[in-house]
Structure formats: C-alpha cells, structure tokens
Amino acid sequence: MPPRSPYDNLVHPRTQKKPVPTVEAEKDLVVEDPSSGFVGAVVRCEKDVVHLEDRHGRVRGYPLGPGFWVDGRPVVLVRPKQAAPTAPTRSASGSTYVAGARARVARQGRIYVEGKHDAELVEKVWGHDLRIEGVVVEPLHGVDDLPAIVKEFRPSPDRRLGVLVDHLVKGSKESRIAEQITGAHALVVGHPFIDIWQAVKPSVVGIKAWPTVPKGEDWKTGVCSRLGWEDDTGYVWAQRILARVRTWTDLEPQLIGRVEELIDFVTTD
C-alpha cells in the first residue's frame, strides 16, 4: 500500500455539498413547500411557525426551519430579526411626524363618516394628523340621520362640520342630502365607492380587483362569497383589509383627496 499523502483528503469542488442558505421569513416573501406544492407569501411569523397565503387566499402554517424553497432553491426559514426601533419621520398619511407632541384639545368642529369601518380607516391613516389638529372623527349610523345631526350640531365659523359619505354620485339620495347641508360652515364630500372597503387598493389585500356584486345583494357579503373569504364581515375587515393598510399609498386617490379636504375645512380658523 502506498504511503498516505497530504493531498489524500482533498475533495473536488463539485462533490462538496454547499450549505443551505438561511432566509428570514419577512412579510410578502414568496415561499414554496416542495413536499405539498403549496406556494404562498408570508403573512405573519409567530414564535416557531410561518403562515403562508396563496393567491386564492388560503393560509397554511408551517414550522420554521429547513424544507422550503425560495426562487427555486432550498432554504432554511428563520424568524426575522427585530430591527432596532427608529423614530418615524412621516406619519401614515405622509405628513411630517411630530415626535412627542401631545394631542391638542379637541376643537368644536367635527368630522363625521358614514360607518365604523370608515372611522377606523381614517384613524389608522390620519390619526396622527387628527390628534395634532384636535379633530374628532365620529361615525354616522346612516346618511338619513345627517340632517338631524347637522340641525343639532349648529355649524358656525368656529364650529365647522365636515362629512364623508360613501357612494356619493350625482342624482342619488346621498347627493340630494349633501346639497341641503353644504354651506359656509358645513361641507359634505363623498367618494364613488359602494363601500369603504373599495377605497383600499385591491393589490393591498391580494386580489386583482374588487368583485362586482349585483344591486340588491348585500355588497360585503357578496364580496366575501365571491372571493372565498370568511362569512364574518367584521373579521374580514379587521384581518384581511384594515390590518394590511400601512400608509396613504395603500388607498385610492379618490378617498385620500376627500379626507384631506375635510381636515383642511374643519381646521380653517
């Protein structure tokens, strides 16, 4: 037997196994589970579980670790690192963030929106601005109640009233009510969407477009059934829609302009 050589342990590069790279399970990262063929984007990452949602809205949970593919290559999924908190420079509405500012004492002026979901969306995107300006947003229980609310509110130069109405189109009941109320100290504006859900860009909630629902059918229920979503519209709004809104860029311009218009109106001295 020939003596051992110091070169005996050399391995050809092609026979060496390359280490599987580690990838952080960041939100929206597209991941494939090759064992089942399921492909989805990361929607959330818990302690030891990553949740993926496919293009049909189906969500599956998998243990973090090896066994996944990203861009056609095997990876080991790990929890994302917690980034060091940094002070925001811009609010969700795109305005300058005023760090450490206390909320202003509420003005006498008010902004009314047509429902609970409308109020929650306005608060999430414009909440910082509203607190700085001292503007309170309240939900209506229906546009039919608006004349009585305005009569009781008694708008004046230092007590301005702004109202945001859903589906404000020419010739509608809503437009006739708006014409009666709008004046020097009260302003009613609206967006063209059937419901505030539509003011969120479809791409933000993972769909190509909001489905068409025939007149006479409850719009939210019809949307959920056509998209295969849960039949609990409150859950759908909170978890599938509102939770995915981060900034004003996630909203349609027709809503952004109207909300900004109302804030300017009620804060004009």
pLDDT given for residue 6 in this prediction: 56
CATH 2.30.30 placement within the chain: 17-78
Could you give the CA distance from residue 95 to residue 229 in angstroms, rounded to a whole number?
34
pLDDT given for residue 204 in this prediction: 94
pLDDT given for residue 226 in this prediction: 95
One-letter-per-residue 3-state SS of 54-104 = CCCCCEEEEECEEEEEECCEEEEEECCCCCCCCCCCECCCCCECCCCCCCC
Q: What are the backbone dihedrals phi and psi of residue 203, each rounded to the nearest 5 degrees, phi first?
A: -60, -30
Category of 239 on φ-ψ map: left (φ > 0), alpha (ψ -120 to 50) or beta: alpha
C-beta separation of 215 from 222 below 8 A = no
The DSSP annotation for 123-144 comes to: HHHHHHHHHHHT-EEEE-S-GG
Q: Which parts of the chain sit beneath pLDDT 50?
A: none
pLDDT given for residue 268 in this prediction: 82
pLDDT given for residue 224 in this prediction: 96
pLDDT given for residue 108 in this prediction: 82
pLDDT given for residue 14 in this prediction: 54
The domain made up of 17-78 is a member of CATH 2.30.30:
yes
CATH 3.40.50 placement within the chain: 110-200+245-266
Entry pTM: 0.63
pLDDT given for residue 153 in this prediction: 87
For CA atoms 103, 191, 163, 143, give the dihedral sign. negative
Q: Which fold has domain 110-200+245-266?
A: Rossmann fold (3.40.50)
What value does the CA radius of gyration of the chain take, rounded to a whole number of Å? Answer: 26
Tokens of 51: 């949740």
pLDDT given for residue 244 in this prediction: 94
What dihedral angle (degrees, nearest 10) is formed by the CA atoms of 134, 193, 165, 241?
A: -40
